[in-house]
Structure 1
Amino acid sequence: MDKHILCCDWGTTSFRLRLVERQDYKVLAEYLTKDGVAGTYRDWKEQDEINRFDFYAAILKNSIKELAKKTSFILDTIPVIVSGMASSSIGMEELPYAELPFESNGSQASVRVFKDFNGKDAPLVLVSGLKSHEDVMRGEEAQLIGLLKLNEISIQASEKIVFVFPGTHSKHISVKDRFVIDFQTFMTGEIYNILTEHSILKDSVLSSSGTVLMQADQIKAFLKGVEISGTSALLHSLFTVRTGQLFGQFTKEQNAYYLSGLLIGSELRQLKDGNYDHLVICSGKHLYEHYKLAAEAISLKFNTTYIQPELIDKATIAGQVQIFNATQTTSNE
Structure 2
Amino acid sequence: MKKYLLSCDWGTTSFRLRLIERADSTLAGEVLSQNGIGQTYNLWQSRENDGLSREEFFRQQLQEHINALARQVGFSLDGVTIVMSGMASSSIGMQEIPYSNLPFALDGSGALMQHFGVQPDFPHEIMLVSGVRSDHDVMRGEETQLIGLVETAGLPENGDVIFIFPGTHSKHMYVRNNQLIDFKTYMTGEVFNLMTRHSILRDSIELNGSGEFSAKKVEAYKAGVREAGVTNILNALFTVRTNQLFSLWDKQQNGMFLSGLLIGHEIQYLLQEKDWQLVLCSGNNLYELYRMAIEELQLSERTVTIPAGMVDKSAVAGHVKIFSYQKSTLNKLNL
- Taking structure 2 as the reference length, what is the TM-score of the superposition? 0.94
Paired with 1:76 and 1:271, the residues of 2 have a C-alpha distance of 48
Secondary structure of the residue aligned to 1:171 is: strand
Residues 162 and 276 in structure 1, CA contact (< 8 A), matched pair in contact too: no
2: CA distance, partners of 1:204 / 1:71 = 48
Could you tell me which amino acid in structure 2 is paired with residue 59 of structure 1? Answer: Q
Matches within 5 A, 1:160-309: 160-209=160-209, 211-274=210-273, 276-309=275-308
Kindly state the Cα deviation for residue 249 of structure 1 after the two structures are TM-superposed. 1.7
Deviation at 1:168, TM superposition (A): 0.8
Q: Residues 118, 294 of structure 1: CA spacing in aligned structure 2 closer, same or farther, 3 A cutoff?
A: farther
1:35-82 deviations in Å (ceiling 9; x for gaps): 111111111111222111111110001110011111123211211111
Q: Which moved more, 1:168-177 or 1:119-128?
A: 119-128
Instruction: List per-residue Cα deviations over 1:208-262 (Å, max 9, x = no partner).
Output: 34x4442322211111110111121111010111111122222222211111100
Local SS of the residue matching 1:8 = strand
Change in 2 beyond 3 A, CA 1:105/1:212:
farther
1:5 maps to 2:15: no
Conserved? CA contact 1:9–1:84, under 8 Å: yes
What CA distance in whole angstroms lies between the structure 2 residues aligned with 1:207 and 1:180? 36
User: Greater helix percent: which structure?
Assistant: 2
For structure 1, which segment, 38-47 or 244-253, has the greater mean C-alpha deviation from structure 2 after superposition?
Answer: 244-253
Contact residue 206 and residue 255 of structure 2 kept, 8 A: yes
Which segments of 5 or more consecutive residues in structure 2 lack a partner in the other structure? none
Does 1:37 pair with 2:12? no
Residue identity in the other structure for 2:234: L
TM-score, normalised to structure 1, is 0.95
Provide closer, same or farther for how the CA distance between residues 141 and 213 of structure 1 changes in structure 2, counting only shifts above 3 A.
farther
Identity %: 44
Q: What SS class does the counterpart of residue 231 from structure 1 fall into?
A: coil
- Give, in whole Å, the separation in 2 of the partners of 1:24 and 1:74: 21
Q: 3-state SS of the aligned residue for 2:272?
A: coil
**Out of 80, 83, 102, which is 1:81 matched to?**
83
CA contact (8 A) 2:63 2:122 kept: no
- In structure 2, the CA distance between the partners of 1:260 and 1:128, relative to structure 1 (3 Å rule), is same
Mean CA deviation greater in 323-332 or 33-42: 323-332
How far apart, in 2, do the equivalents of 1:256 and 1:287 lie? 14
**Which of structure 1's runs of 4+ aligned residues deviate more than 3 A?**
117-122
CA RMSD in angstroms, aligned pairs only: 1.7
